[in-house]
Amino acid sequence: MAAKWLTATAVSLTLAASTNVLAEEFELSGKVGMDARYFLEDSQYSGQFDNSQFSVFVEPEFYWSWNNGDDSLTFKPYYRLDNQDDERSHGDIREFSYIHAGDDWELRAGIRKEFWGVTEFQHLVDVINQSDSIEDVDGEDKLGQLMVNLSLVEDWGIVDLYLLPGFRERTFASEDGRLRGPVVINGDDAEYESSAGQQHLDFAVRWSHTLGNFDIGSYWFHGTNREPVFILSQGQSGEGGQTELTPYYQQMDQLGLDVQATIEDWLWKFESIYRHTETDNFWAAQAGFEYTYVGVMDTVADVGLLLEYGWDSRGEADLRSTGAAMQNDLFIGSRLAFNDVQSSEILFGMGADLEHNAVSFVMEATRRFGEDYKVNLDIRLYQSNDPFDALYSIKDDDHLQLTVERYF
């Protein structure tokens, strides 16, 4: 399946760029790196490793442009090799796309990543790309998505039309991996509501515009739900055909709205969705603000204070993930930007489930060293005493992660 998907992509890009193959500009950049995780507690489930995890990764980027920059081609492959979790050793094409820019329109074709959203702690409206959840549990890492995107620029806003062939299945930790639940998810035997399976043709239309201090976006998406529900089944692999979860991808229609207002030192943020599937019709929202103290204590540093609230009409999550992980949650945090030549920055935050005794803490610190190196330190802590809470399944997965990247 993957081979057919990549072949189709290569053919479409070759045809798109065939009108002018003489590159006027070529750039090679990217990064290589390694990260080390240390889990503060021994594993919670049988089969998992206990404390240390190491991996290396590479993400080069090849860029060609011609016709005075009106046409361009970008290729960005990615590969990670992990010493503990075989599923985390994986590769992907993050981007392999052709772009043509007209006077008031732009055509983009190929594998791309498209991000929507304004809130900090949860991105409800971000629906185009599938989460590469084996990379991290925060939902920030995404798989490349095959698409054709026509962007039309008008006085009353920008309209983006998307055709999305070739659905990407979510990645999951193996039986050996950490940051998973008590039952292993078998991502290789995924099932679909649509008889077309991974070949279902999804589409979306989005309007975005700036009105004074307000940045507004709204969209309609029709296609395969990026968030699977899970079917409890008896696996064919493992000792004695152990119990496992099989992802089931439904069809959905989703309406989304995101608004950000910039008023002096305040950023007001709001995201909301309405989703219809064969089993659920629900609303969800995330709203909050970020206030920035500029030049705190007569220095060049800025301190931002963040507060957000998340609500979901489905209520609590269950084993099948038919509920919401963040149905009544409050998030507070702070962002410290030193504004130095090393681009040093620290973000930390805490999320609290207002219906359960469950709290999560995250800290992300980053700093450049010299011209080419960047170091990130992440800390993630989880506390939950309620088996019905989503965090309970990873309550023993508190960890530190140190990442060193070299850019070229």
pLDDT classification of 236: cutoffs 50, 70, 90 = low
What pLDDT is recorded for position 11?
Answer: 47
Question: What is the model's pTM?
Answer: 0.89
Range of the domain at 325: 2-407
Nearest Cα residue to 235 out of 303, 183, 286, 280: 183
Domain count, the chain: 1
* Whole-number average pLDDT of the chain: 91
CA distance 139 to 31: 21
* pLDDT band, very low/low/confident/very high, at 119 (cuts 50, 70, 90): very high
Answer yes or no: are the C-beta atoms of 242 and 235 closer than 8 Å: yes
The CA-atom distances, in angstroms, between 387 and each of 174, 318, 354, 392 are 22, 10, 15, 6
pLDDT reading at 320 higher than 50:
no
Residue 357 has what pLDDT? 83
Cβ atoms of 92 and 132 within 8 Å: the answer is: yes
Instruction: Identify the CATH number of the domain in which residue 391 sits.
Output: 2.40.160.100
